[in-house]
């Protein structure tokens, strides 16, 4: 395993904390922040002065107040923010938010994406795959928001199935992070990241709240029997001029 490919147990610290950045990984643009609040720490300040952001509510309920606007979030609701927002995040119970970031100077307004509505949209929520690799995908940050560089969503696999199959890569245009969720013990999955399967960037177990950096290489994964592998995928283009599309990828030739 090469340095800083996997970040373990990234949901263990309260407050709003940078987890993965270009400073502690090979990434050039993509960042991952985690905000965890409860009755002991119920409010944090929020700012994104020079980066766009996507806030994905993973658990609990809370409110994001920014520049006079208020947004109520519950599980899988998403809030896209152009740079230059400031305010607070608070909860009256508990709240867990995954935030993806990328440098941007593109102006605009916040966009709230309620999961209840997105889940009914056949363009943004789909069942994909075939025997052995069935999964449900929710594209939370896609053409539905005016992002400059970010993409993101959720993958729910069937028990014991592969996802991100056929193996694909997008090293020339995009970098990515997988963050695993709703995989309580004893559940785990196996994640691969490789250009050469004989010398992989990473090949090993992943557990709930682990995160894997995908700078280059094919990156399929598989759930264990009787359990799913579920993950948030967040992605950023290497620069703002590149096509912002989740489908702009190269499939491993042997599996096309």
Provide the number of structural domains found in the chain. 1
Q: Is residue 75 part of a domain?
A: yes
Phi, psi of 23 (to 5 degrees): -80, -30
The CATH number given to whatever domain includes residue 28 is: 2.60.120.10
CA-CA distance, 166 to 45, in Å (whole number)? Answer: 41
Helices (H), the chain: 115-118
Q: Mean per-residue pLDDT for 177-182?
A: 98
Q: Mean per-residue pLDDT for 113-141?
A: 97
Instruction: Grade residue 4 by pLDDT with cuts at 50, 70 and 90.
Output: confident
The mean pLDDT value of the chain amounts to: 96
Q: Mean per-residue pLDDT for 101-122?
A: 97
Contact 207, 250 (CB under 8 A): no
DSSP secondary structure letter of residue 254: G
Q: Is residue 137 part of a domain?
A: yes
CA-CA distance, 149 to 241, in Å (whole number)? Answer: 9
Residue 246 confidence (pLDDT) above 90: no
Q: Is residue 255 part of a domain?
A: no
Q: Mean per-residue pLDDT for 110-131?
A: 97
**pLDDT tens for each residue of 100-110:** 999 999 999 99
Q: Mean per-residue pLDDT for 47-76?
A: 97
CA-CA distance, 114 to 112, in Å (whole number)? Answer: 6
Q: Is residue 256 part of a domain?
A: no
Q: Is residue 141 part of a domain?
A: yes
Tokens of 120: 């009914």
Q: Is residue 21 part of a domain?
A: yes
Report the pLDDT value the prediction gives residue 3, as an integer from 0 to 100: 59
Helix (H, G, I), strand (E, B) or coil at 135: strand
Residue 202 parent element (H or E) = strand 202-206
Q: Could you list the residue range(s) of the whole structural domain that residue 38 is in?
A: 6-247
Q: Mean per-residue pLDDT for 141-149?
A: 97
Tokens of 115: 């999961």
What residues contact 38, with CB distance under 8 A and at least 6 apart? 14, 91, 93, 94, 95
Beta bridge partners of 79: 55, 112
Cα–Cα separations (whole angstroms), residue 231 to 87, 180, 181, 210, 246: 28, 4, 6, 10, 15
**pLDDT tens for each residue of 185-231:** 999 999 999 999 999 999 999 999 999 999 999 999 999 999 999 99
Residue 247 confidence (pLDDT) above 90: no
Residue 1 confidence (pLDDT) above 60: no
Cα–Cα separations (whole angstroms), residue 119 to 80, 97, 201: 17, 19, 34
Q: Is residue 1 part of a domain?
A: no
Q: Is residue 238 part of a domain?
A: yes
Report the pLDDT value the prediction gives residue 2, as an integer from 0 to 100: 47
Q: Is the dihedral of CA 55, 56, 59, 64 positive or negative?
A: positive
Report the pLDDT value the prediction gives residue 248, as an integer from 0 to 100: 81
Q: In what order do the strands lie in the sheet with 211-214?
A: 6-7, 211-214, 174-180, 230-237, 150-157, 135-141, 125-128
């Amino acid at each position: 395993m090469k340095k800083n490919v996997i970040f373990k147990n990234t949901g263990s610290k309260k407050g709003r904390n940078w987890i993965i950045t270009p400073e502690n990984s090979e990434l050039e643009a993509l960042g991952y922040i985690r905000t965890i609040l409860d009755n002991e720490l119920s409010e944090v300040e929020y700012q994104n002065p020079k980066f766009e952001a996507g806030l994905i509510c993973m658990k609990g309920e809370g409110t994001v107040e920014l520049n006079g606007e208020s947004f109520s979030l519950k599980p899988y609701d998403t809030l896209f923010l152009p740079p230059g927002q400031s305010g607070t995040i608070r909860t009256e119970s508990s709240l867990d938010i995954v935030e993806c970031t990328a440098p941007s100077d593109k102006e605009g307004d916040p966009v709230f994406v309620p999961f209840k509505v997105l889940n009914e949209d056949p363009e943004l929520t789909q069942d994909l795959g075939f025997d052995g690799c069935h999964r449900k995908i929710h594209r939370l940050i896609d053409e539905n928001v005016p992002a400059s560089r970010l993409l993101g969503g959720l993958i729910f696999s069937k028990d014991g199935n592969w996802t991100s199959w056929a193996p694909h890569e997008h090293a020339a245009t995009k970098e990515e992070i997988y963050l695993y969720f709703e995989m309580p013990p004893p559940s785990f999955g196996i994640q691969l990241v490789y250009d050469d399967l004989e010398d992989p960037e990473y090949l090993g177990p992943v557990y709930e709240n682990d995160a894997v950096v995908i700078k280059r290489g094919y990156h399929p994964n598989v759930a264990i029997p009787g359990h799913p592998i579920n993950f948030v995928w967040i992605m950023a283009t290497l620069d703002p001029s590149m096509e912002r599309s989740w489908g702009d990828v190269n499939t491993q030739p042997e599996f096309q």
